[in-house]
Structure 1
């Protein structure tokens, strides 16, 4: 059963500053690559066909690479 807007008013969080931080730390050390061939990478027009949510793409065509990715999603609900 749905809750009325009047009832929800009493549970409102009000307003505030939201600050989110991510500290991603990593290191690539002691690696080696010799006589390697890297390829290509591409995203075509249909790559995200039918995608939903928060799609993310990380591409790399190199060697001995550390890729770090972080996503922070803040959702604010208002009556």
Structure 2
């Protein structure tokens, strides 16, 4: 398939899909899942826990009712 077919394509992902993404070794911002490459995602869920370290980072978990996605901002 032509790689350009998937530019700006919206695909529904569950938390389990995010957790199975594999980074492509030579590019730090591109990931692979089932042979498809992606570089930008959006997710929706409920923040179920958070840890805030002032002037450093915030760590939180997003629950989509299937599983939780650990995030660091």
Do both proteins adopt the same fold according to a TM-score greater than 0.5, normalized to the shorter chain? Answer: no
Q: TM-score, normalised by structure 2?
A: 0.21
Which structure: greater helix fraction? Answer: 2
Which structure: greater strand fraction? Answer: 2
Q: TM-score, normalised by structure 1?
A: 0.20
Which structure is richer in relative contact order (CA contacts within 8 A, separation 6 or more)? 1
